[in-house]
Amino acid sequence: MSVYKNSYRAYTGPVTPLWMRVYVLARYGFAEAWSSKITVALFTLSLLPFIVFLVGIYLANNPIARLLILKNASRNLNIDASFFLNTLQIQSWIALVLTAWVAPRLISFDLADNALPILLSHPISRPGYVFGKFMAMFTSLSAVTWVPCLMLFAYQAYSSPQPWAVANLPIAGGVFAGAVIWIAFLSILGLAISSWVKWRVVATGAIFAAILVPAGVGAIASAVLRTQWGFLLNLPVTMSILWQRLLGTPAFMRSAASLPTSAIVTVLVLACLLCLAMLNARIRAREVIRG
């Protein structure tokens, strides 16, 4: 039968809801991020501190094992807010390394292959595209930050011979809030930089530079001008201060300990808005070629 003799009609089957379509991008983005052996290797390395802290909790709650391994049963291993602060800090900086590797895989490939116009020609908006990639990045970073930290909290609550969990619930809340703030910022930062740098290796270096270069400038400004406000550019310091306040631990830097929490949050919000502006300017369904 000739083609012109066939009659065609529109698809009348079930349609995926609009709010569910971003999860398609998130699912494929997550699969793309974890398809690399390096991603799996980085995740495996992130488990090493988790295992060390897990053994520390076991020894702290088992005097016999502490006597056999440490040869000093009188030495106390305190599982408190400072312990979980150290855990959160280590896992958070591992998350930075994972961001530098994973984020360029989520957007740079779409831009390098000119696939973005094709993706946005589907019933997916630009905010939906960014949100889908953000979800893939956020989920990947959650696996190395607040998930293992809360697993350690649950193990300590199970292993402690005394009621411990209820009295220390603020620690769990502080760990969760601090980790979510950090990985949300890293996700937006990684996507913004990757959207402007097509080469994955360069994008990886740019993500590290976006954290470390302002930190160096802020430290120099604080030393030269003898002011604490330069530390606002030093994300490692400001995030450590924010984590300490969320978990209720003593400050470790007196020179920056008096920074107001509102100033730290304002800097993070402004940085996120800048990243969103970069994404808005770059994520377009067109490619300008100048010849």
Q: What is the pLDDT of residues 238-268, one digit of tens each?
A: 999 999 999 988 877 666 678 888 999 999 9
Asked whether the predicted pLDDT for residue 169 surpasses 60, the reply is: yes
Query: So what's the pLDDT on residue 109?
Result: 76
Q: Across residues 214-240, what is the average pLDDT?
A: 87
Q: Say which residue, 138 or 111, is predicted with more confidence.
A: 138
Q: Which residues contact 204 (CB under 8 A, 6 or more apart)?
A: 100, 101, 104
- How far apart CA 102 and CA 34 sit, in angstroms, is 8
CA distances from 37 to 69, 99, 183, 268 (A): 35, 15, 22, 32
Q: Say which residue, 69 or 165, is predicted with more confidence.
A: 165
Mean pLDDT of the chain: 86
Query: So what's the pLDDT on residue 156?
Result: 93
Asked whether the predicted pLDDT for residue 278 surpasses 70, the reply is: yes
If you average pLDDT over each of 13-17, 118-122, 146-150, 162-166, which comes out highest?
146-150
Which pTM was predicted? 0.87
Q: Across residues 187-209, what is the average pLDDT?
A: 90
Query: So what's the pLDDT on residue 222?
Result: 82
pLDDT tier at 127, thresholds 50, 70, 90: confident
Lookup: tokens for 176: 């969760």
∠ CA(117), CA(96), CA(199), 5° rounding? Answer: 40
Lookup: tokens for 46: 């992130």
Q: Which residues contact 164 (CB under 8 A, 6 or more apart)?
A: 156, 157
Q: Which residues contact 54 (CB under 8 A, 6 or more apart)?
A: 152, 155
Asked whether the predicted pLDDT for residue 70 surpasses 60, the reply is: yes
- How far apart CA 143 and CA 50 sit, in angstroms, is 12
Report the candidate in 182, 185, 184, 204 with the shortest Cα–Cα distance to residue 193: 204
Residue 19 DSSP class:
G
Tokens 């969990």 found at: 165
